[in-house]
Structure 1
Amino acid sequence: MTLGWKLVIDSGNAPVLADFWAEALGYVVEDPSALIEQLLAAGRLPEQAVTEHNGRKLFRGYAGVRHPDDPFDENSGVGHGRRLLFQDVPEPKSGKNRLHIDVHAEPGELEKQVARLEQLGATRVNEVDRGPVGHWWVLRDPEGNEFCVA
């Protein structure tokens, strides 16, 4: 059995941040278009609750990404396994994250992985070298959320 979970991340632009993290982690952006179309057709969802991004209808203020190998509901696109859900909030990020993601590079490929993430929109913050304990980079995603690459 696959353990279902989601990490919810506050954002300023959920679809854009979902795109970044899907590329960064090799995940798939969830596609709720079919469910949204059904809800709109039935009059159960107002048009103002819907937005479009990259040709897909999304619930305004929300976007999810899921691991490509995990099961998902074909009607809603929602994953039943490892997923991240981005939700727009009115206030900007303030302070350091209390929880962050660690991205693991292949052995000897730390700089290559950091450069790939920079091309996606991440920025370097700090290099940490603890000798035999570990060597990693602290980066920020496009909205300033810290994460590590080791």
Structure 2
Amino acid sequence: MAIAYKLVIDCTEPIALADFWARALGYQVEDHSSLIDRLLATGVVGAGDHTTVDGHKAWRHAAGIRHPDDPVDRDTGVGLGRRLLFNAVPEPKQGKNRLHLDLHVGAGRRDAEVRRLTELGATVLRVVEEPGTSHVTMADPEGNEFDVQ
């Protein structure tokens, strides 16, 4: 049996990084308003644990994005398929990622996609032309590396 998973990315600004990646991938930022309301009503969390983003309640310490075609748990707002979770940590990124995303946009679209991602806040780190691969290594606004192919 296959195992479901989500990719968790440690960061210092989860709401901002979730917004970047949602726009980069065409994903939707998860709306956790109903979950937050339920936990507030039972006293499990306090007012300082959330904020408001685009008219929806959002966790201060975490933000998720999901593929728009995948199902979502209506009680929590959590995606049930392809999903990235951005989790707040106190320290900034240090060193090279040991895991990264490869964005497969196609050779004919690569340059335009790199420009679009740069406009969203990514930076180009290097262009790689090696036998068997041609890609652009970029960094998101917090320095996490990813490749555009």
The one-letter code sitting in structure 2 at the alignment partner of 1:147 is: F
Q: Distance in 2 between matches of 1:65 and 1:98?
A: 21
- State the number of aligned residues: 149
**Equivalence for 1:137:** 136
**Equivalence for 1:98:** 98
The one-letter code sitting in structure 2 at the alignment partner of 1:75 is: D
Secondary structure of residue in 2 paired with 1:68: coil
Q: Distance in 1 between matches of 2:59 and 2:92?
A: 21
**Equivalence for 1:67:** 67
Given the two structures, how large is their TM-score scaled by the length of structure 2? Answer: 0.93
Higher mean Cα deviation, 86-95 or 99-108? Answer: 99-108
Is the CA contact 1:3–1:81 (under 8 Å) kept in the aligned structure 2?
Answer: no
The one-letter code sitting in structure 2 at the alignment partner of 1:47 is: A
Shift of 1:53: 2.2
Shift of 1:34: 1.4
Runs (5+) with no aligned partner, structure 2: none
Given the two structures, how large is their TM-score scaled by the length of structure 1? Answer: 0.93
Secondary structure of residue in 2 paired with 1:5: coil
Q: Distance in 2 between matches of 1:3 and 1:120?
A: 33
| Identical amino acids, percent of aligned pairs | 52
Q: Distance in 2 between matches of 1:125 and 1:21?
A: 18
Shift of 1:2: 8.9
**Equivalence for 1:79:** 79
- Partner deviation per Cα, 1:102-142 (whole Å, 9 max, x = no partner): 011133111001001111110000000125x1211000000
Q: Distance in 2 between matches of 1:44 and 1:100?
A: 34
Runs (5+) with no aligned partner, structure 1: none
Shift of 1:71: 1.1
Shift of 1:18: 0.3
Which 4+ runs in 1 deviate beyond 6 A? none
